[in-house]
Structure 1
Amino acid sequence: MTEFEKIIKVADFPENGRFYHEFEDETVVIFRVGEQFYAIADLCTHDGGPLEDGALEDHKVECPRHGACFDIRTGAALNLPATEPVPTYQTKVEDGYLFVEKPESW
């Protein structure tokens, strides 16, 4: 069964902003694009660097280290040097709060 954790009030999450959350063994970066929320592992699959400070355009985040891009909706690697997808996590809004699926330990 999928477990979710309460993260933040939706009203406190800026439009087109991002928020970082540390779970037990993994950091997740959460993006807001319009009224939609997307959560991915804060981990470039090319070299393990963080994605948290990467430029976001539409639904694409760019790794600040080597320029690999990922689709925040699916985790798909969109260009080299990354070839593997980044893990994604379900999000949901309930009672005005954003919840994110808890990552399973790797």
Structure 2
Amino acid sequence: MDKPSIAIEVVYALAERQKLLRLSVPVGTTVREAALRSGMQQFFPELDLQQAPLGIFGKTVSKPEERELVEGERVEIYRPLIADPKEVRKQRAAKAKAREEGDESA
């Protein structure tokens, strides 16, 4: 007898395009297994699903190889960060401070 299955979604997005796939997977499928089963690499060949960070509904899953999915969940495949968010905030604060100091000297 076939193992019972659940319906899930797997999504990946770039700035200019995105893809959402609906899948039926066996109960007990992990987050990583679902990403690998999705076939998302045929749409985005540069995607490394073995290493990509993964999440469910906007929350990163720290152990995607262990976390089993439940009916209706959406697996999100995350892109690597281009810049460190902390560093970007630091740079923005430094620019703002420099502008303020420039206004005071006028």
TM superposition score normalised by structure 2: 0.26
Q: Which has the higher strand share?
A: 1
**Rg larger in structure:** 2
Q: Which structure dedicates a bigger proportion of its chain to helix? A: 2
